[in-house]
Amino acid sequence: MAQATVDFHPDAVLEGAAANAWYTERSPVAAVALVTELDSAIEAIAEQPTRWPRYLHGTRRYLLRRFPYAVVYREKPGSVLVVAFAHCSRRPGYWKGR
C-alpha cells in the first residue's frame, strides 16, 4: 500500500510552531524531542491513516507519547489533512471548523 500524502491546515502549522517555540525557550533538548516525535507521528499516520481511533467531527487522533499533544487529522482519498496539533488540556473540538 502506498503512503498517503499529508497536508497541513495553516493553523495546525502555527500550533506546531508555537509548541516548538515554547519548548525551545525552556529546553532545546525537549524541543528537538518534540519535533522528532511529531515527525514520527506524521510518518506513521501517512503509512496507516486508519490505524488510530476515530475522534470528534469525523477526525482521527494520534496521541504523542512523551508530550501532551495530539495530531488530529481527517482522511481523504489517498491523503490526510492534519487539522490540529492540539494540546490535550485544551477544549476538545476547538478546531472543528477547520
Residue at 95 is within a domain: no
pLDDT of 96 reads 80
Q: Which three cell numbers stand for residue 57?
A: 467531527
Q: What is the CATH number of the domain that holds 10?
A: 3.30.2310.20
Residue 98 lies in a domain: no
pLDDT at 97: 78
Handedness of CA 43, 47, 49, 53 (dihedral sign): negative
Q: What is the number of structural domains in the chain?
A: 1
Overall average pLDDT of the 21-47 stretch: 97
Average pLDDT, the chain: 93
Give the three-state DSSP class for 71. Answer: strand
- Residue 69 C-alpha cell reads as 499533544
Residue 68 belongs to some domain of the structure: yes
Ordered strands of the 79-87 beta sheet: 5-8, 79-87, 69-76, 60-63
Question: Residue type for 60, please?
Answer: R
